[in-house]
Structure 1
Amino acid sequence: GTIESPGFPHGYPNYANCTWIIITGERNRIQLSFHTFALEEDFDILSVYDGQPQQGNLKVRLSGFQLPSSIVSTGSILTLWFTTDFAVSAQGFKALYEVLPSHTCGNPGEILKGVLHGTRFNIGDKIRYSCLSGYILEGHAIL
């Protein structure tokens, strides 16, 4: 499915307060991937919760103009909460979500200045990261 901020791609309104709750069957997980992301830095925020929207479930708070990495829930519910302030807006966001059966791990996402090698993300599959010329990989190259 697709989730877009109100008014996308022509800009979202001030004082927005939107909640999306994605629910799938038990034992499944949800992967959220961003196609476009442009929010006023620090003032307009997309909060993503792993489950219901409670403080302990906050997975990430997103703002600014950098395309976020993919997000995978640990359970069958993923909640998005979008809030904006009284002034300045941007294009907004477009996110794609899909259900991951329990035997898949989900796409771990691209890395800045790097390349993901691998297209299968099932349990037992391996993927490899490499860096563009002039950059050094920190962490594991093979997952």
Structure 2
Amino acid sequence: GVITSPNYPNNYPNKLDCKFSIEAPDGATITITFQEFSIEAESDCSFDRLEFIDPLSDNTKLYCGSTLPPPVISKGNKVSFLFSTDSNVNNGNFKITY
């Protein structure tokens, strides 16, 4: 499947709170591959961010900036992404395949 930022391939809008969920068959894992990635950069991703949540993992991953993240493999068959943007800069988009 494919997940893209709202308004893709154009810049994403301001003031977003979006949730994307992926579920595979029981016993499966999910491989996430970032095809395109450009989200407003901030050292702690406090402005705009893509948050990766794997319920069976110990931690949540936050992504921002323009460096293409490495592939991620889930520990279970369900994952979700939360995409949040502030009211200022909206300088990019993302495309993820799974």
- The normalised TM-score by structure 2 is 0.90
1:57–1:5 Cα change, 3 Å: farther
Distance 2:58 2:15 in 1: 24
Q: How far has the Cα of 1:87 moved from its partner?
A: 0.6
* Alignment-derived partner of residue 3 in structure 1: 3
Which of 1 and 2 has higher RCO (CA within 8 Å, sep 6+)?
A: 2
- Greater C-alpha Rg: 1
Percent pairwise identity? 32
1:1-143 to 2 correspondences below 5 Å: 1-42=1-42, 43-51=47-55, 58-97=59-98
Residues 22-71 of structure 1: per-residue CA shift (max 9 Å, x gap) = 0111110000000100000121100001128xxx7543100000000001
**Partners of 1:49 and 1:57 within 8 A in 2:** no
1:58–1:18 Cα change, 3 Å: farther
Distance 1:34 1:44 in 2: 17
Q: Which runs of 5+ in 2 are unaligned?
A: none
Equivalent AA in structure 1 for residue 53 of structure 2? Y
Q: Which runs of 5+ in 1 are unaligned?
A: 98-143
Q: CA RMSD in A?
A: 1.5
**Partners of 1:48 and 1:58 within 8 A in 2:** no
**Partners of 2:49 and 2:84 within 8 A in 1:** yes
- The normalised TM-score by structure 1 is 0.62
1:81–1:17 Cα change, 3 Å: same
